[in-house]
Amino acid sequence: MRIAVISDIHGNLEALKTAFWDIEERNADTIICLGDLTGYGPYPNEVIDFIREKRIISILGNYDAAVVEEKFNCIRPNEVNKFCMPWAARELTQDNREYLKSLPQNFVVKFQGKEIVFVHGSNRDMNEYLKENSKEAEEAMKEFSGDVLVCAHTHIPYEKHYGDKILLNDGSIGKPKIGRPNGTYIILDMQNNSLNVEFIEFEYDYEKTAAAMEEKRIHLSCINNIRTGIE
């Protein structure tokens, strides 16, 4: 079984479509999205519509929760978010708002005796950053009772082993923080009782996204991030 894991699309429809067709070519059996469909990018409704149309399994991200609640208890109350969260909340259709409300905060796959748990932030909190080699990651993995924990939220992909347990981060489809304007995702290839992780980095027409952001007068910091991959 091959599972593609995507996350942190943040309203970037162009990046999502490119990732989807790339995944199709790599013959994944299914796609799981770890949340943050909305925020920052110019197309929150279109991204949600695409996720729903393609029947992609998705969980709730912290930014999705903030947009639905229209509160800052799930995101940082900085100047960018003070613009982007209310903007995305105003843009959302009621139908898509209800869709986000319906999303679970985790998803579990059991395969060949292994338990793989998919979360947005961590197994403890959707807004917790499990950065590579961090104290938070070590603590979270001590508490984790499954075999593989797959998270997002940091926008930086990595793989880290904690004894027999594995922590994975898929990076970000639509708001990169890797120093390049490319999206990232992972494919979990599970066969013969083994797990192989493929880290994928892809290019897309980020200038198309940036132009749409400029047209909609989205915060300049978000536009610069799309063009540079630096927050």
CATH number of the domain bearing residue 173: 3.60.21.10
* C-alpha to C-alpha distance for 134 and 131, rounded to whole angstroms: 5
What is the pLDDT averaged over residues 195-223?
97
* C-alpha to C-alpha distance for 140 and 108, rounded to whole angstroms: 17
Query: Where in the sequence is the domain holding 75, given as residue range(s)?
Result: 2-226
What is the pLDDT averaged over residues 153-160?
98
- Give me the number of domains the chain comprises: 1
> pLDDT tens-digit profile of 45-96?
999 999 999 999 999 999 999 999 999 989 999 999 999 999 999 999 999 9
* C-alpha to C-alpha distance for 48 and 61, rounded to whole angstroms: 13
Instruction: Give 112's pLDDT tier (boundaries 50, 70, 90).
Output: confident
Beta-carbon count within 10 A of 177 CB: 17
Element (H, E) at 168: strand 165-169
231 occurs within a structural domain: no
Instruction: Give 192's pLDDT tier (boundaries 50, 70, 90).
Output: confident
CA distances from 21 to 4, 60, 82, 142, 149 (A): 12, 23, 33, 37, 26
Q: Which two tokens stand for residue 213?
A: 């952001």
Measured at the CA of 69, the angle between CA 65 and CA 73, to 5 degrees, comes to 70
Its pTM surpasses 0.85? yes
Nearest to 201 by CA among 167, 148, 155: 155
> pLDDT tens-digit profile of 10-33?
999 999 999 999 999 999 999 999
Is 38 in contact with 48 (CB distance < 8 Å)?
A: yes
